[in-house]
C-alpha cells in the first residue's frame, strides 16, 4: 500500500507507470464524468468512476486482486479504507478470475487510512483492501479507481 495526494504527486514515490496513469486519469476530469468504465490504455489501464454512500466497515467484505493494481482516488466526500499487508486476508471466498477479484471476510492486523478529496491509496495484487467505509456516518462519495495491469510495470523479457 502506498498513499499520497494528487496535489503533490511527484513526491509520492510512485512507479512511473502509476504516476502516468494517475496523471492521465486526472486529465480526463473524472469529477465531471458519470459513473462508469473508461479506457485509458485499452485493457491494461482503465478507470471506474463511482458514486455511492459509504457504509460501516462491518457491513462490507475486503477485496483482493491478482492481476491489477488499484489506485483508489477520492474525488469528494470522505472515505475510510481498511487494508492489510499481502497475505493478511482471511476467510476468502472463491476467485473470480475473469473479473480479477476475490472477496474475503477478514484482514489480519487490519490498518485504516482516511482519504480526503484528492488523496489516493494504491493497493498491489495480494494486498486486501475494503474501500467505501464510512468515517463517522454514511455519506455520499465520488471516487475513481484506476486499474493498472501489473504487467505494465515489468519490461518484457528480451
Ligand atoms: Cu480493489
Q: What pLDDT score was predicted for residue 114?
A: 98
Cα(126) to centroid of ligand 1, in Å? 10
CATH number of 2-7+16-27+35-151: 2.60.120.370
> Could you read off the pLDDT tens digit of each residue along the chain, which spans 158 residues?
999 999 999 999 999 999 999 999 999 999 999 999 999 999 999 999 999 999 999 999 999 999 999 999 999 999 999 999 999 999 999 999 999 999 999 999 999 999 999 999 999 999 999 999 999 999 999 999 999 999 999 877 67
Beta-strand relationship, 68-76 and 89-92: unpaired
Cα(8) to centroid of ligand 1, in Å? 23
* Cell numbers describing residue 107: 484482514
Cα(65) to centroid of ligand 1, in Å? 6
Helices (H), strands (E): how many in the chain? Answer: 1, 12
Cα(158) to centroid of ligand 1, in Å? 31
Consecutive H or E run containing 47: strand 45-53
Give the DSSP letter string of 55-83: B-GGG--EEE-SSEEEEEEEEES-EEEEE
Q: Where are the domains of the chain?
A: 2-7+16-27+35-151
Q: What pLDDT score was predicted for residue 155?
A: 73
Amino acid at each position: 500500500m502506498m498513499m499520497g495526494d494528487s496535489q503533490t504527486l511527484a513526491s509520492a514515490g510512485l512507479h512511473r507507470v502509476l504516476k502516468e496513469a494517475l496523471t492521465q486519469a486526472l486529465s480526463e476530469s473524472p469529477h465531471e464524468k458519470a459513473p462508469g468504465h473508461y479506457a485509458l490504455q485499452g485493457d491494461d489501464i482503465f478507470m471506474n468512476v463511482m458514486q455511492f454512500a459509504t457504509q460501516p466497515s462491518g457491513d462490507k467484505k475486503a477485496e483482493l486482486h491478482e492481476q491489477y493494481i488499484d489506485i483508489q482516488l477520492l474525488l469528494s466526500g470522505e472515505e475510510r479504507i481498511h487494508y492489510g499487508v499481502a497475505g493478511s486476508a482471511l476467510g476468502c471466498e472463491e476467485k473470480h478470475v475473469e473479473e480479477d477479484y476475490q472477496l474475503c471476510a477478514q484482514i489480519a492486523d487490519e490498518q485504516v487510512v482516511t482519504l480526503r478529496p484528492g488523496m489516493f491509496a494504491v493497493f498491489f495484487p495480494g494486498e486486501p483492501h475494503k474501500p467505501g467505509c464510512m468515517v463517522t456516518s454514511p455519506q455520499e462519495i465520488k471516487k475513481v479507481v484506476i486499474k493498472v495491469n501489473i504487467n505494465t510495470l515489468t519490461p518484457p523479457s528480451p
